[in-house]
Amino acid sequence: MEKFFKAQQRGSSVGQELRAGLTTFLAMAYIIAVNPSLLTQAGIPATAAVTATCVGAGIMTICMGLFSNRPLACASGMGVNAVFAFSLTAIAGGDWHAASAVIFVEGVAILILVLCGLREAIMDAIPVSLRHAISVGLGLFIAMIGLKDGGIIVADESTMVALGDVFSPTFLVGLISIIATIVLYAMNVKGSLLLGIIVAVVAGIPLGVTQLPAGIVSGLDFSSFGAPFLADESGVMGIAKVVTNPTLLVFAFSLMMSDFFDTMGTAMAVAKQGEFLEPDGRVQNIREILIVDSAAAAVGGLTGASSITTFVESASGAADGGRTGLTSVTAGVLFIVAAFFSPLISIVNSATTCGALVFVGFLMMSEVAEIDWSDLLEGLPAFLIVAGVPMTYSISNGIGFGFIAYVIVAAVTGQIKKVKPLMWVAALAFLVYFLVV
């Protein structure tokens, strides 16, 4: 195991990797309850949705660990699953098989781009300042997700966002999660992020936030597997509807743009915590990471689990000491086990992971010092990324703002030669993406 994963070489241990894998899994466990609840809105049977969510996440997370040997985990992406349930299925005439086929086509297309080297080449073309900005923006985004899940911040019609109800049980559990994580980390307790989640789960029981499971064991249902190639009542396969429907193909393009750059930001964020980010912002083993991530999207469509992608919550495991793919393998195995025990695992709700996500956001803010804010070309696009990611609640939107701004500022300040050809391509693609979406 040491020869394959190189845990000691990276300053870790088997025990530390197993603990980090459990931290990552618990930080992502909410997806086991949330994703099926959305997929059932699209018409997928509830038991099939749970099986697809857990098995798809488990297989691709294990693949990520074995192929890239980095602590990243995969699961059905939030946001895309809502689009899948409420928009994509409707455009496909209410046929979730066709919606799954769109996800499958998008995943295959992005995998081809990775194998051709385009996705990695675009990452290499990104200026160093923007790479640092992506990490900072992701830090704020992760913290915002944690605060929202913990009820610390809520939507508000007047001010867009406001402080939550301080007497709300969810708020209290979120606050306990944050305080416990900070105290444990300050005391140099190993596994502080994991223990913070566990403390919050226990505290949530008397507060009514942690719901005791109605059962323990659940059966598996593979009826959604092969969704793109399953036919509807009229006998037409989902994949056939996609290739003959321009609207669905445009949808596939917009999803591809989102997947293309979301993973780029996520990889940088996790690499920062897992200590495999180079000083110039390059992510080690990025090709292997992108190949698995791209294949995961296709697998998500194939299993009916919506698009499977690399989760930004992986940074919690990396921050808790995960340095190798053993962290991912551990999390992946737990996802597969969870397919049989989903009622029990679902007690770990999103409010209990608030502290881990907020603390990871804090750790990622150190990148802000690496940006030259006195240089307009470096600082302004970086600022738009940092602000754009959390404020639009989208990694790809924030990155798009920064890319387009970088090209514009370079052009008007006579520094056009600093813009690499693929940055032009990426900026133009984002422009089309914004206009289409």
In tens, the pLDDT along 113-127 reads: 999 988 888 888 889
Parallel, antiparallel or unpaired: strands 153-156 and 160-163: antiparallel
Helix residue spans in 187-313 (DSSP H)? 192-207, 238-243, 246-274, 286-303
Parallel, antiparallel or unpaired: strands 308-310 and 153-156: unpaired
What's the token pair of residue 66?
């074995």
Q: CA–CA separation, 65 vs 102, rounded Å?
A: 27
Torsion region of 188: left, alpha or beta (phi above 0 gives left; psi -120 to 50 gives alpha): left
* pLDDT exceeds cutoff 80 at 374: yes
CB within 8 A of 370, min separation 6: which ones?
A: 128, 129, 132
β partners of residue 161? 155
Handedness of CA 372, 143, 295, 257 (dihedral sign): negative
Torsion region of 183: left, alpha or beta (phi above 0 gives left; psi -120 to 50 gives alpha): alpha
What's the token pair of residue 258?
């989102």
pLDDT tens column, 216-264: 888 899 999 999 999 877 778 989 988 888 888 877 887 887 777 788 8
Q: What is the distance between the terminal CA atoms of the chain, rounded to a whole angstrom?
A: 46
CB atoms within 10 A of CB 381: 27
Res. 304 pLDDT band, cuts 50 70 90? very high
Res. 437 pLDDT band, cuts 50 70 90? low
Q: CA–CA separation, 259 vs 87, rounded Å?
A: 17
pLDDT tens column, 157-198: 999 999 999 999 999 999 999 999 999 989 988 788 888 989
Closest CA to 340 of 61, 33, 50: 50
* pLDDT exceeds cutoff 90 at 299: yes
pLDDT tens column, 271-291: 989 999 888 778 999 999 999
Give the residue-averaged pLDDT of 342-354: 82
Average pLDDT, the chain: 90
Parallel, antiparallel or unpaired: strands 153-156 and 74-76: unpaired
Strands (E), 91-188: 153-156, 160-163
Q: Is 164 helix (H, G, I), strand (E, B) or coil?
A: coil
C-alpha distance from residue 425 to each of 11, 72, 86, 328, 356 (Å): 39, 28, 31, 33, 37
Give the pLDDT of residue 221. Answer: 93
Contact 134, 124 (CB under 8 A): no
Residue with tokens 């936030």: 209
Q: CA–CA separation, 271 vs 252, rounded Å?
A: 28
Report percent pLDDT > 70 for the chain. 100
Contact 96, 227 (CB under 8 A): yes
DSSP 8-state secondary structure symbol assigned to residue 211: P
β partners of residue 389? none
Contact 337, 133 (CB under 8 A): no
From the CA atom positions of the chain, what is the Rg in Å?
21
What's the token pair of residue 302?
């194939």
Give the residue-averaged pLDDT of 28-55: 88
Report percent pLDDT > 90 for the chain. 58
Q: CA–CA separation, 316 vs 147, rounded Å?
A: 15
Q: CA–CA separation, 70 vs 167, rounded Å?
A: 40
Q: CA–CA separation, 385 vs 130, rounded Å?
A: 8
Give the range among 201-205, 343-347, 379-383 with minimum mean pLDDT: 343-347
- What is the CA 38 to chain-centroid distance, rounded? 17
Residue with tokens 């919050």: 200
Strands (E), 88-178: 153-156, 160-163
Give the residue-averaged pLDDT of 295-316: 94
